Amino acid sequence: MQFFQFTEEQDMLRKAVREFAEAEIAPKAAEWDEKDYCPMELFPIMGELGLTGIFVPEEYGGSGMGYVERAICLEEIARYSAGLAIALMTHHLGMAPILDHGTEEQKAKYLPELCAGTKLCGLATTEPGGGSDYTGQKSTAELVDGQWVLNGRKCFITNYQADVCVLTAVSGQDEKGRNQLSVYIIDKGTCGFSMGRHENKLGLRGSNTGDLILNDVKVPQENLIGKAGGGNKIGMAAIGEVGRAGMTAICVGILRGCVEEGVKFANERILYGKPIAKLQSIQFDIAGIRTDYEAAKLLLYSASGKKDAKLPATTDYAIAKYFASEAAVRSAKKTMELMGGYGVINEYPVGRFLRDALASIPSGGTSHIQKLIIAGSTLSDFKA
Amino acid sequence: MALNIIVCIKPVPDPQYYDKVSIDPQTKRITREGIPTIINPVDKNGIEAALQLKKTYGGKVTVITMAPPNAVENLREALAMGADEAVLLSDRAFGGADTLATSYTLAKGIEKIGEFDVIFCGVESADGATAQVASQLGEWLGIPHLWNVFSLENLEEKTMRVKTKIENGSMEWEVNLPCLFGVARQLNKPRFISAMGIIKAKNKPLATWGKNDLIVEDARLGLTGSPTKAGEIYTPDLRRKGELLSGPLDEIVDTVIEKLRTAGITIRTASTSCSAGEGGA
Amino acid sequence: MKNKIWVYAEQVESALDRVTLELLTKARDLAKALKGDTEIAAVLLGKNVKRLCETLADYGTDVIYVGESDALELYNPILYSRLITDLVKQEDPDILLFGATAIGSELGPTVAAQLKTGVAAHCVDIRINEKGLMVASVPSFGGKILGEILCPDNRPQMASVKPGIFLQGEKEPREPAIHWLDTTELQPEKLSLKAIRIERKAPAGVPLDKADVVFCGGYGIGAKENWDKLETLASRVGGAAASTRPVVDEGWAPGEEVMVGTSGKSIRPKAYVGFGISGATHHVCGMKDSGLVISVNKDDKAPVFEVSDFNIVADATKVLDLLMEKIQ
């Protein structure tokens, strides 16, 4: 077993994204959070930097890198704005099914502009009737005269204003009467496809979340990804490895923010004649936050490394996401407490870190779901 | 008309951390541990200028630096920004160089690279800030050079029009190629490094040359070739008494006005102008 | 053998830059510290510059070398440096000082390279040591570290100094010998570098380096409207407004000409009031010689409070607004 180390290129990428984040994201993150403003103007710029299509092969306009590199980008961006990071990660999330399961025509049609960041992508699976109950969704897709007609409603959709929406619907039942899902690419503006209410969120503000309404939306056959009924697997693969991975990276970014802000404050705040960093109780807090960050980081990059090596990583990501999101909430709260009164003043980012961490728990699979996945694989893989 | 452009860069400790730099009382040397090394910020304006010229006219951009071996990392960054080739001049013999010896060594490296049309340097480095290497490099190469260039106006055949900043204004120049410019921050906004750039940088040529790869006079290198010698170093003591003014802000501001008056500044306030005649209290 | 201290007398559009008089004052101090007789000379190049000799004479020059010609009307590094270098080779001065203005910062090192000698850049102090050598104090790392630089073997020992670092002293009139340089062979139109034009605009209001009181805005002023308030307040009290680099970068202040710091201007007003300035060394080095220093910052841990006489922990905007109300 070799010890964990990034390559020179990965270090360069981290440095490059960090410079971009410090210059263009850090100064505005608080404002975006306060106004719940999603900085879409940064998407074409991130496109030029190769971040919007980071894991897409060069032939489709991407950067030809992998999931480790994607995690690095998301971590660096989330360190300053988890809201922008989730918008970017969801953009990737919608692209993944097109890349992994789409036809050459679909890839050639959609991926270049998505990689350039000139168009926004999103994934829509969650419904008022349930998100965790994935196959229990109720939107329907019926094949009528060679076209699919979709009806239903999606909610809590990040990037619901996307130009290209990758969406699941029930297209039939299997022999046991269980729902079969299919995945469709729907262009914004398609007749009958509209945006519903905008959600006013507690955290991850700076990304747009809302409803999507499907009212007899006609989708041509060539916009079906994979086969009819293949949506169970395609959708779950995307959520399980791309969505979960993205949320984990975001939480690792928040955790690093907690370490850095905590250290800065502890070294500068003078009480009893010396910096509070000299007090044991504060040191214990700093140790806890640091350990959470390092552990979450290792889980994230280990899972991402496996995915890039084409090894199964679903359970690894479940463990990473569950741990990182809960750790982010725990450590953000700890950082706030370490800062005393200053922790609840909005000029400091820590309050935003906590809200973003809280909002990360139900995103990309709740902790309850992650635990079921982890338990499932543990009970079958570990022999007593 | 394809251009051969050379950009000189210097790896420096990140200026964000300079207030943490101190002198070790034991060794009497500057401690700068833990401060990351970056490309001198204004040198990036030089790289950006080169890349923009290459985009318009075609050609090649070579980045060169005289630095310790780990400068390879910074050269890769320059390649990732879009430069085509990189050269590192590194040798113990180059160490301890002042601006004259540094510019001499760079000149010899550039002569080995071959023909060039334009050389870009940053106006000054963040750490030493002598702001002299650009002009002296131009002299060693025997080419026209200008310092503090903030605008590149025009390129025609073999001449270029540029503007330099002077106090309260600017000067406009016509320069024959080949030439050298020490560029200022206002010239452009350096691009960020892209993921694609990082991948391409891996395969771009990066050569390391020592003394023996160049045609040099040993006496002009490093410490030996430096007419200026360094003496004592110290940190300046800028401290003042720092008396805190407290109380209601309104009263504090009154105190400020009073102190300014004591310092000899004439200040008219409502109470003083009333005493000039009309108007009640 | 007489010691020779030379000062490049910078002039733009036939007016002497104040740094020339500051350097001549310093030259007198250095002369006193040297053993034996010292001759102080000025080197003056340009068009219509003869009349400037009077001022140079008033400030203690023993010799003035003048290059007076139409060809020298606009500064040109090739022409100017060649004249200076040839003259130096002929007369062999011990010390040669340049003002670190935009022109001097280029001309000084260019001449040094031609003479293969050393130049200490942007020094904040110059003295003579017990061996009779010039010792220059040079800042690095944004002014956090000061180092001494000597040029023991090569001649002349050169240094450049920013305007405002040294004080312009009292007049000390002498009757200098004036030597006219041969300018007949100068052909600016044949050079590979030609100056086309110069464009200057005198700044409105009191120049920063002459103001008795300076109101300086840092990143903490937060918005352009607060910069405008600083300018208004400054004009009401006959002072000037200044800024740190971030304020210029944000576009709140007009440009680098109002920037105070190691890469900007050095000022020494009677009073300096800083608003929203954190106190980074590279800024403080530019105003450390101010008389009274008052700083306003809402962060009670700001480093600027260690280098000020009076500290106010408050929102800079609130203090500005109160000052705007009270000062007419």
From A172, A207, A230, the end of a domain falls on A230
The per-residue pLDDT for B280 is: 44
Tell me, yes or no, if B228 comes closer than 8 A to chain C by beta carbon: yes
Kindly determine whether residue B194 and residue A16, on different chains, have CB atoms separated by under 8 Å.
Answer: yes
Residue C275 contacts residue C320 (beta carbons within 8 Å):
yes
In terms of domains, do A60 and A88 share one? yes
Distance from CA of A199 to the nearest CA of C (A): 31
Q: Of the candidates B76, B192, B202, which has its C-beta nearest A49's C-beta? A: B192
Residues A295 and A369 placed together within one structural domain of the fold: yes
| Dmax (CA) of chain C | 65
In a domain? residue B225: no
Residues A197 and A281 in one domain: no
Q: What's the burial of C297, exposed, middle or buried (CB within 10 Å: 0-12/13-18/19+)? A: buried
Q: In this structure, is residue B229 part of a structural domain?
A: no
Alpha-helix runs per DSSP H in chain C: 18-33, 52-58, 77-91, 104-115, 224-236, 245-249, 281-287, 316-326
Q: Kindly report which listed range (A71-80, A219-228, C201-210, C257-266) carries the lowest average pLDDT score.
A: C201-210
Across the range C212-231, mean pLDDT stands at 92
Domains C3-190 and C208-326 share a fold: yes
Q: How many CB pairs under 8 A join B and C?
A: 275
Residue that wins the pLDDT comparison between B31 and B165:
B165
CATH number, domain containing residue A155: 2.40.110.10
The tokens describing C244, both together, are: 């740190």
Structure tokens belonging to residue B204: 């771009």
Using DSSP's 3-state secondary structure scheme, residue A2 falls into coil
Whether residues A110 and A168 share a domain: the answer is no
Q: Does B116 share its domain with B47? A: yes
CA distance A84 to chain C (A): 23
Please give, rounded to a whole number of angstroms, the shortest distance from the CA of B137 to a CA of chain C.
Answer: 9
C-beta atoms surrounding A284 within 10 Å: 12
Q: Which helix (H) or strand (E) holds A196?
A: strand A193-198
Q: In the structure, what pLDDT confidence band is assigned to residue B157 with cuts at 50, 70 and 90?
A: confident
Average pLDDT of B172-200?
A: 96
Same-domain status, A14 and A113? yes
| Nearest residue of chain C to residue B270 (CA atoms) | C326
Mean of per-residue pLDDT scores for chain B: 92
What confidence score (pLDDT) does residue C138 get? 94
Nearest partner of C44 among C23, C20, C26, C27, judged by Cα:
C20
Phi–psi pair at C277, nearest 5 degrees: -105, 130
Residues B41 and B69 in one domain: yes
Residues within 8 A of C (CB atoms), B 68-87 only: none
A48 touches chain B (CB under 8 A): yes
Instruction: Please provide the average confidence, as pLDDT, over all residues in chain A.
Output: 94
pLDDT in tens, A214-246: 999 999 999 999 999 999 899 888 988 999 999
Instruction: Let me know if residue B213 belongs to a domain.
Output: yes
Residue B190 Cα, gap to closest chain A Cα (Å)? 11
Q: Is the pLDDT of residue A279 over 70?
A: yes
Domain that holds residue B262: 240-281
CA of C302 to nearest chain A CA: how many angstroms apart?
A: 10
Look at B198 and A48 and tell me if their CB atoms are within 8 Å: no
Touching B: which chains, 3+ CB pairs < 8 A? A, C
Domain boundary among A214, A230, A246: A230
Structure-model confidence comparison of residues B242 and C204, the more confident one: B242
Running DSSP on this structure, what letter comes out for residue A209?
E
What average pLDDT does this structure show over A70-76?
A: 98
CA-to-CA distance for B235 and B223, rounded, in angstroms?
24
Q: Is B196 within 8 Å of A58 when comparing Cβ atoms?
A: yes
* Class for the domain spanning C3-190: alpha beta
Say if residue B39's pLDDT is above 60.
yes
Joined together, the tokens standing for residue A256 give: 């690093």
Chains interfacing with A (3 or more CB pairs < 8 Å) = B, C
The domain in which residue A164 lies consists of 123-230
C-alpha angle B238-B240-B246 in degrees, rounded to nearest 5: 140
- Are the beta carbons of A12 and B198 separated by less than 8 Å? yes
Query: What's C215's DSSP letter?
Result: E
The pair of three-digit structure tokens given for residue A307, joined into one six-digit string = 């995915």
> Does residue B228 lie in a domain region?
no
**Tokens at residue A1, please?**
């077993």
Per-residue pLDDT reduced to its tens digit, C254-287:
888 899 998 889 999 999 999 999 998 889 999 9
Q: How far is CA C99 from CA B164, C107, C206, in A?
A: 17, 10, 22
B142 and B281 share a domain?
no
The Cα C188–Cα A133 span in angstroms is 83
**Looking at A212, A230, A248, which one is the last position of a domain?**
A230
Residue C171 binned pLDDT confidence (cut-offs 50, 70, 90): very high
What's the average model confidence in pLDDT over A271-290? 94
Structural domain contains residue A1: no
Q: Are residues B80 and B118 in the same domain?
A: yes
Q: What is the three-class DSSP state of C178? A: strand
C301 vs A contacts (CB less than 8 Å): 268-270
CATH number (domain holding residue B97): 3.40.50.620
Collect all residues of chain B within an 8 Å Cβ-Cβ radius of residue C202: 168
With an 8 Å Cβ cutoff, are A49 and B193 in contact? yes
Q: Is residue B230 part of a domain?
A: no
Residues 6+ apart with CB under 8 A from A186: A150, A164, A165, A166, A167, A193, A217, A219, A223
Same domain, B58 and B137: yes
Q: Report pLDDT for A272.
A: 87
Rounded to whole angstroms, how far apart are CA atoms A88 and A80?
14
B14 near C CB under 8 A: no
Q: Which of residues 253-312 of A touch C (CB under 8 A)?
A: 268-270
For residue B201, the chain A residues in CB contact (below 8 A) are 12
Q: Does C301 touch chain A (CB under 8 A)?
A: yes
Give domain status of residue B253, yes or no: yes
Tokens standing for residue A111: 């991926």
Amino acid at the residue C47: K
Interface partners of chain C (CB pairs < 8 Å, 3 or more) are: A, B
Helix, coil or strand: residue A369:
helix
Residue A384 lies in a domain: no
The answer to whether A16 contacts B195, with C-beta atoms less than 8 Å apart, is yes
How far is it, in rounded angstroms, from Cα A206 to Cα C103? 49
Distance CA A256, CA A262 (A): 10
Query: H-type helices in A207-366, by residue range?
Result: 231-237, 244-268, 280-308, 314-338, 350-360
- Would you state the pLDDT for residue A209? 95
Beta-bridge mates of residue C273: C215, C294
Under CATH, which architecture does the C208-326 domain have?
3-Layer(aba) Sandwich (3.40)
Contact A12 B192 (CB under 8 A): no
A positions 294-333 inside 8 Å of B (CB): none
What is the band of B281 on the pLDDT scale with cuts at 50, 70, 90? very low
Per-residue pLDDT band for C187 (boundaries 50, 70, 90) equals confident
Q: Which residues of A touch B37 (CB under 8 A)?
A: none
Q: Which residues of A touch C315 (CB under 8 A)?
A: none
What pLDDT does residue A86 have?
97
Percent of chain A with pLDDT over 90: 88
- Mean pLDDT throughout B175-190? 96
pLDDT of residue C204: 77
Residues A184 and A307 in one domain: no
- Contact B79/A9 with Cβ under 8 angstroms? no
Chain A interface, best mutation among C219, C301, C306, by max A CB count within 10 A = C301
Burial grade of A330 (CB within 10 A; 0-12, 13-18, 19 or more): middle
Q: Quote the minimal CA–CA distance from B114 to chain C in Å.
A: 20
Q: What is the pLDDT of residues A120-173, one digit of tens each?
A: 999 999 998 777 788 888 999 999 999 999 999 999 999 999 999 999 999 999
Across the interface, of B19, B147, B264, the residue whose CB is closest to C105 is B147
Long-range CB contacts for residues B202-205, cutoff 8 Å, separation at least 24: B202/A9, B204/B79, B204/B83, B204/B84, B204/B85, B204/B86, B205/B84, B205/B85, B205/B86
As a whole number, the mean pLDDT across chain C is: 93
Query: Average pLDDT of C243-260?
Result: 89
Test B195 with A13 for CB contact under 8 angstroms: yes
pLDDT of residue A271: 87
What are the residue boundaries of the structural domains of chain C, listed by start? 3-190, 208-326
| Count of domains for chain A | 3
Q: Which residues contact A230 (CB under 8 A, 6 or more apart)?
A: A101, A182, A183
Q: Is the pLDDT of residue B253 over 60?
A: yes
Cα distance from N-terminal residue to C-terminal residue, chain A = 25
Mapping DSSP onto H, E and C, the string for chain B reads CCEEEEEECCEEECHHHHHHCEECCCCCCEECCCCCEEECHHHHHHHHHHHHHHHHHCEEEEEEEECCHHHHHHHHHHHHHCCCEEEEECCHHHCCCCHHHHHHHHHHHHHHHCCCCEEEEECCCCCCCCCCHHHHHHHHHCCCEEEEEEEEEEEECCEEEEEEEECCEEEEEEEECCEEEEECHHHCCCCCCCHHHHHHHCCCCEEEECHHHCCCCHHHCCCCCCCCEEEEEECCCCCCCCEECCCCHHHHHHHHHHHHHHCCCCCCEHHHHHCCCCCCC
Mean pLDDT for the stretch of residues A332-354: 94
Nearest CA in chain C to A269: C301
Residue of chain C whose alpha carbon sits nearest to that of A264: C301
Asked if the C-beta of A174 comes within 8 angstroms of chain C's C-beta atoms, the answer is no
Q: Quick one: closest CA in B to A57, which residue?
A: B196
Q: Which two tokens stand for residue A134?
A: 């994935």
From the candidates C145, C268, C298, which should be mutated to test the interface with B, based on the most B CB atoms within 10 A? C145
Q: Which residues of B touch A (CB under 8 A)?
A: 73, 76-77, 80, 192-199, 201-202
Same domain (yes/no): B157, B259: no
Inter-chain residue contact B254 with C151, CB threshold 8 Å: no
pLDDT for the residue numbered A1? 67
pLDDT of residue A270: 83
Joined together, the tokens standing for residue C17 give 């830059």
ipTM of the complex: 0.90
A201 and A127 housed in the same domain = yes
Residue A365 belongs to some domain of the structure: yes
Q: Is the pLDDT of residue B196 over 90?
A: yes
Q: Which tens digits make up the pLDDT trace of C85-98?
A: 999 999 999 999 99
Q: What is the pLDDT of residues B89-123, one digit of tens each?
A: 999 999 999 999 999 999 999 999 999 999 999 99
The CA distance from A17 to the nearest CA of chain B, in Å, is 8
C64's enclosing H/E stretch is strand C63-68
CA atoms of C48 and C57, how far apart (whole Å): 17
Does A158 share its domain with A33? no
Contact partners, residue B45, CB within 8 Å, separation at least 6: B122, B183, B184, B185, B187, B188, B190
Statement: residue C107 has pLDDT above 70 = yes
Residue B233 in domain: no
Residue of B nearest to A58 (CA): B196
Range ranked top by mean pLDDT from B35-39, C40-44, C226-230: C40-44
pTM for the predicted model, two decimal places: 0.89
Residue in A closest to C302 by C-alpha: A268
